Every structure is written in structure tokens, then in C-alpha cells.
A and B are shown apart, each in its own frame.
Chain A
Amino acid sequence: DIVMTQSPDSLAVSLGERATINCKSSQSVLHNSNNKNRLAWYQQKPGQPPKLLIYWASTRESGVPDRFSGSGSGTDFSLTISSLQAEDVAVYYCHHYYSTPYTFGQGTKLEIK
């Protein structure tokens, strides 16, 4: 099984500042068929289902603000929020869909400093 490890487990950032969450997979999730990384990022707020933010490691889902961006390839990935807004307080998860089981990272709790 591919193990997804996020860092840090929690993060406090001031409003308007940059927040970066890292995700490392235990093996590459770069798919040979299309040379794309099968890696997604989700945001989950209390009492709500997860929301897809980023897929193929760097493609922003429709309707997601452009302050959210994803980067990385192979085994190392990052989610960056360029200017933190109050509504971005949530838990963020990385997730691979390279091969079953499609595992998630343990989550990173993002708060306002």
C-alpha cells in the first residue's frame, strides 16, 4: 500500500499570509499512461463533506479560488494558499488515486494565528 504522510499535522498562519502543506508518498504516483501525478487535495470543514480542491497534483477544480495551488511530482507534493482567508480554516488532506487502496494523508489542521 502507498502511505501518504503530511506535514505538519497542524499549522497556524496569520490572515493574508502564505500557508504551505506538504505531502509525501511512499512510492511514486506518477502514472506512465499520461505522465500525470495521481494526487489530489481536499478541504474539509466541520460538519461538511470533503471538497476537492486540486487534482493531477496541480489542476485546480472549477470554482476553487486561485489562491489555492498544488505542486510537486513523483513522491513530494505541496498545497499552497497564497493569502490565507478566514474561510480557509479547515483540515486539508492529500490523496493518491494511483493504485488501490487509494489512501489519504492523515490530515493537516489549518488555523488562524
Chain B
Amino acid sequence: EVQLVESGGGLVQPGGSLRLSCAASGFTFSNYWLHWVRRVPGKGLVWVSHINSDGRITNYADSVRGRFTISRDNAKNTLYLQMNSLRAEDTAVYYCARSDDGLDSWGQGTLVTVSP
């Protein structure tokens, strides 16, 4: 069974940093592109970033480019999102997701709250 489990969320002050992790199991991790998607409370889904199977290709939404960094460790079956210079508008539930003709598997999400 495919499993994705996010961790690392929490309360952080504006300007602070957090690193999210997504531990994967149940599939060959190194074969898949992976994504971070966030859901702002009371609003919809927003694609944040993705990374290719070997980690060499990354892309970001304009709203996070230069502040967030996606990475992966295929030996540890883990995806990361380093979030710096956090803003109130980054407050959201962050999901990791696997892509294979659409985002076919998702984690349960981890809540990030940016507040003084």
C-alpha cells in the first residue's frame, strides 16, 4: 500500500523557517516525481512545487520561488520542503503527493501556521 506521511509543521513567526518532511513507503520512491500542494484554510488547493525522480529538476509557484526549496533523499525515501522567510499567507495545510498521470497518492497533510 502506498503511504505518504508528512511531518514538520507547526507554529512559526513571520520571517521564520520550517522544514517539512514526507516519508514514503509501499512503492519504488526513486521512480516518481513528487509534489507539494497546500490548502489555505477556507480556500482551495494551490500547487507549490515539484521535483523529478532523481532530484535534478525542480519547479516552484511564483509565490514561493526564492523562499522555498524542494529536495529529496532517494536512499531514505523522503521528500523535503525547506521553507524560509515565512509569511502569514503561507499558513496552510501542506500535502505531499506522488504524480503518475495526475496526483494519484497524497499524504494526510501537515499544518503550518505563520503568526506572531
Interface string of A73-97 (1 = CB under 8 A from B): 0000000000000000001010101
Main DSSP-derived SS at the B contact region: strand
| Chain B residues bordering chain A, tally (CB within 8 A) | 23
Verify if B29 is at the interface (C-beta below 8 Å from A): no
Residue of B35, B50, B102, B107 touching A49 (CB-CB under 8 A): B107
Whether B103 pairs with A100 at a CB distance below 8 angstroms is no
- Whether, in the assembled complex, B31 has its beta carbon less than 8 Å from a beta carbon of chain A, the answer is no
Closest-CB distance, B114 to chain A (whole angstroms): 21
Q: Kindly state the separation between the CA atoms of A52 and B45 in the bound complex, as whole angstroms.
A: 13
Interface set of B (CB-CB < 8 Å, partner A): 35, 37, 39, 44-47, 50, 59-62, 95, 97, 99, 101-104, 106-109
Name A's B-contacting residues (CB within 8 A): 1, 40, 42, 44, 48-52, 54-56, 59, 61, 91, 93, 95, 97, 100-107
In the complex the two chains form, is B44's CB within 8 Å of A97's CB?
A: no
- A95–B95 Cα gap in the complex (Å)? 15
Can you identify 21 A-B contacts, CB atoms within 8 angstroms?
A42-B103, A49-B107, A49-B109, A50-B103, A50-B106, A52-B104, A55-B101, A55-B102, A56-B101, A93-B44, A95-B102, A95-B103, A97-B102, A100-B50, A100-B60, A101-B60, A101-B61, A104-B37, A104-B44, A104-B47, A107-B44
